[in-house]
Amino acid sequence: MIKFTLAGAAVFAVALGAYAVIRFPEQATPVQETTAPAQGAPMVAVTLPEALSAEATMGKRAFDAVCADCHGENAAGKMGFAPPLIHKIYEPSHHGDMAFQMAAANGVRAHHWKFGDMPPQPEVTRADVISITAYIREVQRANGIN
């Protein structure tokens, strides 16, 4: 009787193990923590243009001071914060220059991504945003987005 129970328990344990492997494959093969993108990491690889126009150079300065905290260095996006603006979604025909003025003045209700809303950016003037947009467009073009 004891032997029978032990054998039964062994069969049960093996079956349970097999079930766990089939049912929870991601737990059966432990995932390396390091493969998950870190918070704050850039989201896309950005190719920089050889040179920026004077307007875009001013724009980069303003972008770095106000927008890069969320959108990342070179607008490459920042995991956990905000999307890359060097992205096909933000090409001029989908998000015209006016979208940049609206975003800075009114903020953005989250709709394309899951980062939450973008708050309005009262530190920048309309002229700043014209320069920032020129900067983003020049970097977009260097990455085949136009």
* Interface ranges with ligand HEC (CB under 6 A): 66-67, 69-71, 81-83, 95, 99-100, 103-104, 108, 110-113, 115-116, 118-119, 121, 124, 132
Burial class (CB in 10 A: 0-12, 13-18, 19+), 72: buried
Nearer to ligand HEC, 49 or 97 (CB): 97
> C-beta of 51: minimal distance to ligand HEC in Å?
21
Return the closest-CA partner of residue 136 out of 42, 46, 39: 46
Nearer to ligand HEC, 32 or 39 (CB): 39
> C-beta of 92: minimal distance to ligand HEC in Å?
11
> C-beta of 73: minimal distance to ligand HEC in Å?
13
Nearer to ligand HEC, 49 or 81 (CB): 81
> C-beta of 48: minimal distance to ligand HEC in Å?
18
Nearer to ligand HEC, 11 or 112 (CB): 112
Q: 108 near 67, Cβ under 8 Å?
A: no
Other CB atoms within 10 A of residue 56 CB: 21
Looking up tokens 């923590």, which residue turns up?
A: 33
Return the closest-CA partner of residue 63 out of 121, 111, 106, 113: 121
Taking the C-alpha atoms of residue 40 and residue 42, their distance in angstroms, rounded to an integer, is 7
